[in-house]
Amino acid sequence: MKDFPLGDMPLPGSPWLFVPLLILIFWLHLVAMWLMFGSLIVGIVEVVKNKVNWKESKAIRYLPVITALVINLGVPPLLFLQVLYSPFFFSSSVIISVPWLAIFFLLMIGYGFMYLARYGAQQNWQAVVCLVVSLISVTVISFIFSNNMSLMIKPEYWKELYSYTQNGLNLYPNLPEVVSRWLWVLSAVFAAGTAMLQRSKNWVIPSSIISIVTLIVYRGFLSTEVLSHSLVSGGIVVDLVLAAGVLLIPFLKLNDKSLRILLFAWVGLKGAAVVAIRHGIRSATLDPVYPLNQLPVQSQPGLITIFLIALAIGVIAVSWMYLKGRKELAI
């Protein structure tokens, strides 16, 4: 991989202003995404098995609120990626431009059908159909994201893919690698759904098994240099320990409150491990050719002030949505 020119357009602030925010907000987005996926899956299973009427399903009631948080927490990390790694992020996005742009339409479909399930369904089967469409939509979105994030750190694939076809219909060429990465990131959805909806402890078992298997497979695609990065090596150990440890939960005698606290703590720690590993892989791969600490910086106090004000407004907006959502969820 050859060095990339650092460019003539300086950053408005130090990279270390943006990196912590990228890590923190992506962690929040990841946890919210797991809760959304878990609620979708559990909600479908409950209604299909007629364990609950769709009008009484907590999962269906929660989904519009959780998804709003997922969307709002998902935009800032993408903006920080554009600021920090623009040559990589924009290049991979152009190469897979058709799937990448399709995300916006898929998101509208998925979000719209969640509202249909919540407010428009008249019977259980209608709610199930709406939830299945939503699940398919957000699942495809997550797979496209995993493709872009994988291709972003592999410039050696760009020329071959772009030479093969310039119609923007490409995806990451190494399917086993991207699928293992994608499933590993999504593996926590069952445990998250259990925590959110206080369902059977047995739901955590698939989270553990999928996490362990897919991480081991994905690790096999990582180079020695990447695996030696402290965040990657340490994060993998922590992630495997967490995945193995959650298998003990079905055998523990806990009341509902203690179980929920334990599961939410596990989801939070799992999210931290995933974020650390992902950031470590990106740093180990790109820093040698595109060192963040060497990017030109031209401090722009006015722009930074606007950014901080926008960040504060975003925090207030997300907090407001959460508080309003709690009222909706309590109905």
Q: Is residue 1 part of a domain?
A: no
pLDDT of residue 327: 62
For 40, residues 6+ apart whose C-beta sits below 8 A from its C-beta are 59, 63, 131, 134, 135, 138
The domain tally of the chain equals 1
pLDDT of residue 44: 87
Give me the domain span that covers residue 123: 15-330
Q: Which residue has the tokens 């930074």?
A: 304
Per DSSP, helices labelled H in the chain are 15-48, 58-84, 86-95, 97-115, 124-152, 158-164, 175-186, 189-197, 204-219, 224-227, 230-245, 256-286, 301-330
pLDDT of residue 47: 82
Cα separation of 132 and 114, whole Å? 9
Q: Is residue 4 part of a domain?
A: no
Q: Is residue 181 part of a domain?
A: yes
Write out pLDDT tens, residues 186-243.
999 999 988 887 677 888 899 999 999 999 999 999 999 999 999 999 999 999 999 9
pLDDT of residue 282: 95
CATH of the domain at 142: 1.20.1630
Helix orientation angle between 124-152 and 86-95, rounded to the nearest 10 degrees? 120
**How big is the chain, counted in residues?**
331
Name the stretches of the chain with pLDDT < 70.
1-9, 51-52, 164-165, 198, 325-331
Cα separation of 197 and 74, whole Å? 23
User: Taking CA 196 as the corner, what is the angle to CA 271 and CA 316, rounded to the nearest 5 degrees?
Assistant: 70
Long-range contacts of 69-72 (CB under 8 A, 24+ apart): 69/32, 69/318, 69/321, 69/322, 69/325, 70/29, 70/32, 70/33, 70/36, 71/107, 71/111, 72/314, 72/317, 72/318, 72/321
Q: Is residue 318 part of a domain?
A: yes
Q: Residue 137 has which token pair?
A: 């939509």
Q: Is residue 9 part of a domain?
A: no
Q: Which residue has the tokens 């919210």?
A: 32
pLDDT of residue 329: 55
pLDDT of residue 6: 57
Q: Is residue 10 part of a domain?
A: no
pLDDT of residue 313: 86
pLDDT of residue 180: 97
pLDDT of residue 28: 94
Q: Is residue 236 part of a domain?
A: yes
Q: Is residue 94 part of a domain?
A: yes
Specify whether the CB–CB gap between 270 and 188 falls below 8 A: yes
Q: Residue 271 has which token pair?
A: 């999210």
pTM: 0.89
pLDDT of residue 98: 92
- How far is C-alpha 248 from the chain's CA centre? 26
